[in-house]
Structure 1
Amino acid sequence: MRLSRVVPGVLAVGVVGAGAAFVVGMRNKSPWLQDRIRAFSKQFASEALKTAGNEGAANGVVIHVGRRSGREYATPVTPLPTADGFVINLPYTSKVDWVQNVLAANSATIVHDGVDHRVTDPRVVPYAEVASMLPKSAGVVRAVFDIQEFLRVTTVD
């Protein structure tokens, strides 16, 4: 009888502990954790891409060209519309391949809410520069994960 009460508590502590370790690792930009999350994300990107960018979907897609391969890639992101383009938070920093590809090409296509947007002038900016453009929910995510870098792009269309 007692064991049936202890097991759920132990499981709850384990889940809370894992969640706390995840948040601390993301806040500290732990290369070990970020590498594992990126690998996990790549495995499931095709699933995320099935709905990302569709009308009403929270996530969008950045379509970019590899700077070495010349191949076209699609990466799920959460683009936040601004008056002149989009802002995308960079929880893994600006060193990830897709950001480097967009910066090198100086352009990309963002699929958001069912519409393709050609974007240019990509620049990595600090939170202070985009804070007033972000909805409160994005500010909460930024604070929890200590996101310091954002990609800001301008729409061409």
Structure 2
Amino acid sequence: MSAIQRRLARFNRTFANRFVGPVLTRMPGFGAVLHVGRKSGRVYRTPVKVFKRDGNYVLSLPYGPQSDWVRNTIAGGGCELHTRGKLIRLDQPQVFTDPQQSVVPAPLRPLLRRFKAFDFIELRPVDAATSTTAPVRP
């Protein structure tokens, strides 16, 4: 991650996410990941860009797979996604790189390409009836 990307990520985490996050969860293609801190145990809420693929959820990683929320999600074995008024439990996180951005709708590819967002995380929705993992709650 470049110095500019690190500064933008820090600014978003500190200021922008607090104001934009609640609005984005209601918009198509956006959501907020609820994840538990690896060390603190605290619940965090991070706005994300959401795509669907074969029944799974794919989230763009514009700041790369080393972002705290990604590391928390992997360490916790999943997260919850708040999108379009629904709270969805997700597990089996798989990080992958897709230089062609084939998981992204064609009109959005130039924007994500501009941010060099070629990394993604894919998660499977958890069937509440068979789940053995505890939900994340803010």
What TM-score results when the alignment is normalised by the length of structure 2? Answer: 0.82
Which runs of no fewer than 5 residues in structure 2 stay unpaired?
Answer: 128-138
Structure 2 counterpart of 1:151, one-letter code: I
Q: Distance in 2 between matches of 1:155 and 1:130?
A: 22
Distance 1:118 1:130 in 2: 25
What is the number of equivalent residue pairs in this alignment?
Answer: 126
Quote the RMSD (CA, aligned, Å).
Answer: 1.8
Q: 2:24 corresponds to which residue?
A: 52
Higher strand share: 2
Listed as ranges, the gaps of 5+ residues in structure 1 are 1-28
* Aligned AA (2:59): I
Bigger share in helix: 1
SS in 1 for 2:123: strand
- Alignment correspondent of 1:134: 104
Q: Which amino acid aligns with 2:84?
A: D
Offset at residue 124 of structure 1 (A): 0.6
Change (3 A) 1:141 1:118: same
| Separation of aligned partners in 2, 1:72 and 1:89 | 20
d(CA) in 1 for partners of 2:75, 2:121:
13
Question: Who wins on radius of gyration, i.e. which is larger?
Answer: 1
1:73 counterpart (44, 48, 53): 44
How far has the Cα of 1:145 moved from its partner? 2.3
**Aligned residue type for 1:137:** P
Contact 1:124–1:150 under 8 Å retained in 2: yes
Residue 87 (structure 2) aligned to one of 90, 110, 116 = 116
Identical aligned pairs, as a percentage? Answer: 28
- Relative to the length of structure 1, the TM-score reads 0.73
List structure 1 segments (4+ residues) > 4 angstroms apart after TM superposition. none
Is the deviation greater in 64-73 or in 33-42? Answer: 33-42
Q: How far is 1:126 from its partner?
A: 1.4
